């Protein structure tokens, strides 16, 4: 599966989520990785994050990006403190 196909699969899941009622939706933490990453590397990143406790507080989505750097975005969050944001990013980049 190519990186583009994986991204399309993830986006399909986001736009057509299973019908589950959730009273307190979690914020969505998006990690954009360099498009130069192989499909195996991307899969490893997704698997590692899915096993991390970060998923207790956030929905984590990992998608390829055209840039060569890692980028992070947050959606569905009322407010996040700068210190907490930096903790999340540093934790993921370890």
- The per-residue pLDDT for 22 is 55
Q: What is the pTM of this model?
A: 0.64
Is 88 domain-assigned? yes
pLDDT tens across the length of the chain (94 residues): 676 776 666 666 655 555 555 556 788 889 999 999 999 999 999 999 889 888 888 888 999 988 888 898 888 877 666 667 778 888 777 7
- The per-residue pLDDT for 86 is 78
- The per-residue pLDDT for 62 is 92
Residues paired with residue 91 on neighbouring β-strands, in sequence order: none
CB neighbourhood size of 9 (10 A)? 11
Q: How many structural domains compose the chain?
A: 1
Tell me which residue range forms the domain holding 55.
25-93
| Closest among 3, 94, 90 to 41, alpha carbons compared | 3
Say which CATH number the domain at 42 has: 3.40.30
């Amino acid at each position: 599966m190519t990186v583009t196909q994986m991204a399309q699969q993830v986006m399909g899941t986001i736009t057509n989520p299973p019908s589950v009622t959730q009273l307190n939706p979690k914020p969505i933490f998006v990690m954009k990785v360099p498009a130069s990453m192989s499909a195996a590397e991307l899969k490893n990143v997704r698997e590692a994050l899915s096993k991390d406790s970060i998923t207790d507080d956030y929905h984590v989505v990992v998608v390829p990006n055209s840039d060569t750097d890692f980028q992070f975005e947050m959606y569905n969050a009322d407010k996040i403190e700068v210190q907490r944001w930096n903790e999340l990013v540093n934790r993921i980049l370890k």
